[in-house]
């Protein structure tokens, strides 16, 4: 039996004032697996992602991560420096808006190299080569390595953000609407790239999105959320082709067929 990488046990979070974020979410994620979380706006997807990625302490339940291959440990029982180290080495968060995930006043190469320098890389030549390598892998021409992210298109910024995270060879990445705000052809290329990278590197991922096409392409398993609760889980194709819960059926049938 393979060891789980991330485990959520009855995770729930309420905001001050009793506003429900999410409730009673449990699952296990295994190395190399991609889990999709879908649901409409306000269904608790982003709250759940916050709890899983260590940014928001859940009011109920436990999130465990296989820290350093030493077995599952409660993420919120780690000391803050341990958790921060985890976040910039083993984890990566791809944000919907690349402006939140990038340093906009630092060149693309500097952005990609930051994680290397954060864990002690002190050889400029090596850092730069690695940054160039990763930018090439996300299809950014090496001539743009010294340009600031604001001179890049939205799709390119998103790819720089992905390179910036993958450079530390994370074992788990969280993606919050990775294709939000991109036009469809750029979306398709980004998804293609992401799928290739995730498969090649064997990195596990949790993808939160309202776009069913994204999960169809990327994820192995799917969780459908509504009003903070998981209403259906299963293999992606199974849930999308044969939805059982009325809400899943509604969600699937709401997609326009071009």
Partner 1 sequence: MNSQAFHSVDGTYNFAYLDEQTKRMIRRTLLKAIAVPGYQVPFGGREMPMAYGWGTGGIQITASIIGKDDTLKVIDQGADDTTNAVSIRRFFQRVSGVKTTEETQKATLIQTRHRIPEKQLTENQILVYQVPQPEPLWKLEPREVETRKLHAYSEYGLMHVKLYEDISRHGEIITTYDYPVEVNARHIMSPSPIPKFDNPKMAMMPALQLFGAGREKRIYAIPPYTRVRSLDFDDHPFEIQRFEDPCALCGAEGVFLDEVILDDKGDHMFVCSDSDHCRERRAAGHAGHRASDAASIGFVSSEGEA
> Which one of residues 133, 146, 192, 242 is an interface residue with partner 1 (CB under 8 A)?
146
Which positions from 70 through 99 interact with partner 1, judged by CB under 8 A? Answer: 80-81, 84
Q: For the chain, give the secondary structure using H, E and C.
A: CCCCCEEEEEEEEEECCCEEEEEEEEEEECCCCEEEEECCCCCCHHHHHHHHCCCCCCCEEEEEEEHHHCCEEEHHHCCHHHHHHHHHHCEEEECCCHHHHCCCCCCHHHHHHHHHHHCCCCCHHHHHHHHHHHHHHCCCCHHHCCCCHHHCCHHHHHHHHHHHHHCCCCCEEEEECCCCCCCHHHHHHHHHHHHHHHHHHCCEEEEEECCHHHHHHHCCEEEEEECCEEEEEEEHHHHHHCCCCHHHHHHHHCCCCC
Task: Report the nearest approach of partner 1 to the CB of residue 103 (Å).
Answer: 7
> Which one of residues 117, 235, 250, 255 is an interface residue with partner 1 (CB under 8 A)?
117
Residue 200 in contact with partner 1, rule: CB under 8 A: no
> Which one of residues 42, 55, 77, 103 is an interface residue with partner 1 (CB under 8 A)?
103
- Select 119 or 235, whichever has its Cβ closest to partner 1: 119
Residue 114 in contact with partner 1, rule: CB under 8 A: yes
Residue 106 in contact with partner 1, rule: CB under 8 A: yes
> Which one of residues 145, 175, 222, 239 is an interface residue with partner 1 (CB under 8 A)?
145
């Amino acid at each position: 039996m393979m060891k789980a990488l991330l485990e959520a046990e009855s995770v729930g979070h309420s905001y001050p004032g009793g506003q429900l974020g999410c409730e009673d979410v449990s699952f296990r994620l295994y190395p190399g697996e991609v889990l999709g979380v879908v649901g409409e706006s306000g269904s608790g997807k982003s709250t759940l992602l916050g709890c899983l990625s260590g940014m928001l302490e859940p009011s109920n339940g436990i999130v465990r991560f296989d820290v350093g291959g030493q077995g599952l440990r409660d993420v919120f029982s780690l000391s803050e420096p341990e958790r921060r180290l985890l976040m910039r080495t083993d984890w990566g968060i791809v944000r919907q808006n690349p402006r939140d995930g990038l340093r906009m006043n630092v060149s693309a190469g500097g952005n990609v190299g930051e994680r290397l320098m954060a864990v002690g890389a002190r050889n400029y030549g090596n850092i730069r080569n690695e940054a160039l390598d990763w930018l090439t892998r996300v299809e950014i021409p090496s001539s743009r390595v010294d340009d600031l992210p604001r001179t890049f298109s939205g799709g390119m910024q998103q790819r720089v953000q992905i390179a910036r995270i993958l450079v530390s060879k994370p074992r788990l990445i969280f993606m919050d609407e990775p294709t939000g705000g991109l036009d469809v052809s750029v979306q398709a290329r980004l998804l293609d790239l992401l799928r290739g990278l995730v498969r090649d590197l064997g990195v596990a991922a949790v993808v939160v999105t309202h776009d069913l096409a994204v999960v169809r392409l990327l994820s192995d398993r799917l969780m459908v959320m509504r009003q903070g609760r998981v209403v259906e889980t299963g293999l992606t194709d199974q849930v999308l082709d044969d939805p059982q819960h009325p809400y899943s059926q509604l969600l699937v049938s709401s997609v326009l067929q071009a």
